[in-house]
Homo-oligomer: A and B are copies of this chain.
């Protein structure tokens, strides 16, 4: 069996309490002789002592665990952030507990069960709106659950949030295309808050130039986005004033659009330049042509979210302080917008 604190104490000839103090002495005015200290440390080492996390958590009322509630892991975006969340959490001494919401479940109840009752100290929420609505989140927050929203905003709420600036992303995309000489630019966005922000940003950049023209295409449902890309592309090409460039809601949509462009016998970027969002690892850079894309600050988002949550869990920050952290994306220029690709 695995060694317990009791065994360590016995081996070092001290009491259990003393051993505990030494092994995780928070410098709380400890008064332990160097010799005893060394004995205990040595004993722990030799016995390969690992504290029992349940006993510890039971006593301290702290789990050292962060819950992560995330949907659609396969969309890469979330998965990439999670990778960095793991790193940051691990670094701060926290474990990660994972839970996706399934359809047909009561989300609030599921989260309570999975993360409630002190099983986790705080929760990172990166769950899509169709599985976890704003009301449910607000309810959990009101119940006192410590949480940080990642890449999702509930406007008007005081829930701490980490996002990246989608307006800025749209702005950068448009700016990039303007610099390359485009004047008629279409914007193909999902009809959701994200898409709205992105197109607003793009419009802002375009509005500064009176010689530019904005064409707009809405894409409806998020689920259909893959297949809708082709349709959107076709629609855009048949507009009376065919644009010379397109800003797409994300890379997957861009792929669909590119297919449509090719199907019409046109070339990317010579006839139509394209910019996407998300810069999917291992994919976007190797598409045909390599796709210019707005890359979210993945690492910063993961790291910042954990930092923020830890601050809240440790009480350095009120959970209803309404902290919102806005990070900047970057533009990765590749061939699809007319930049020669290395």
A-side residues, CB < 8 A to B, are 2, 50-55, 57-58, 63, 65, 68, 73-76, 79-80, 82-83, 86-87, 90, 95-100, 102, 112-114, 116-119, 225-227, 229-230, 252, 255-256, 258-259, 262, 280-283, 285-288
Contact = CB atoms under 8 A, between A and B. Distances in A.
A90 B102 CA distance: 10
Nearest to A298: B74
Contacts of A98: 68, 82, 86, 96-98
A276 B80 CA distance: 23
Contacts of A87: 100, 102
Contact of A74 (B50, B65, B76, B227): B76
A16 to B, nearest CB: 16
Q: In the assembly, how many copies of this chain are there?
A: 2
5 contacts: A54-B119, A75-B282, A95-B99, A96-B99, A226-B282
Given A87-B100, A226-B285, A255-B288, 13 more contacts: A2-B117, A52-B58, A53-B118, A53-B119, A54-B54, A54-B57, A74-B80, A82-B98, A86-B100, A227-B286, A230-B286, A255-B287, A256-B286
Contact of A73 (B79, B100, B229): B79
Query: Secondary structure at chain A's binding surface: helix, strand, loop or mixed?
Result: helix
Nearest to A252: B282
Contact of A79 (B50, B79, B119, B280): B79
The 5 closest A-B pairs by CB, nearest first: A54-B58, A50-B117, A259-B288, A73-B79, A54-B57
A95 B73 contact: no
Contacts of A112: 50
Contacts of A99: 86, 90, 95-96
A63 B255 CA distance: 45
Contacts of A51: 117
A83 B55 contact: no
Contacts of A252: 282-283, 286
A132 to B, nearest CB: 15
A159 B227 CA distance: 42
Contacts of A50: 112-113, 116-117
A118 B51 CA distance: 10
A149 to B, nearest CB: 19
